[in-house]
């Protein structure tokens, strides 16, 4: 699969609004993280890439993993 979106470091809320543009940042972030947490292979890879739940800024590698598992925003 070819990514149309080129990942870079960004806040969780910024990425969430790309997936859920009609949402507020808080609601979008909650929805995105529900998707992320419902995908065990994604969670394993994120944790291996240094992700922790309280983190506000996603590194480009973490954004790339999310997009690979969930598709382009």
pLDDT tens readout for residues 19-32: 999 999 999 999 99
- Cα of 10 vs its chain's centroid, Å: 9
Inform me whether the pLDDT recorded for 44 exceeds 90: yes
Question: Is position 56 within any domain?
Answer: yes
* In-domain check, residue 1: no
CB 12 within 8 A of CB 29: yes
Q: Is the pLDDT of residue 72 over 50?
A: yes
In a domain, 36, yes or no: yes
* Residue 8 confidence (pLDDT): 82
Cα 49 to Cα 20, 23, 24: the distances in Å are: 24, 28, 27
Exposed e or buried b per residue across 26-39, where buried means at least 16 C-beta atoms within 10 angstroms of its C-beta: eebbeebeeebeee
Domain extent for 28: 10-70
For residue 64, being part of any structural domain is answered with yes
Number of domains in the chain: 1
Tell me, yes or no, whether 46 lies in a domain: yes
In a domain, 41, yes or no: yes
Instruction: Kindly state the tokens that stand for 44.
Output: 């394993």
Residue 47 has pLDDT above 70, yes or no: yes
Is it the case that residue 1 has pLDDT exceeding 60?
no
């Amino acid at each position: 699969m070819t990514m149309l979106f080129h990942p870079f470091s960004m806040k969780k809320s910024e990425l969430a609004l790309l997936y859920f543009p009609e949402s507020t940042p808080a609601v979008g972030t909650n929805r995105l993280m529900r998707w992320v947490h419902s995908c065990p292979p994604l969670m394993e890879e994120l944790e291996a890439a240094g992700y922790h739940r309280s983190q506000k800024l996603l590194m480009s590698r973490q954004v790339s993993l999310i997009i690979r598992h969930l598709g382009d925003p």
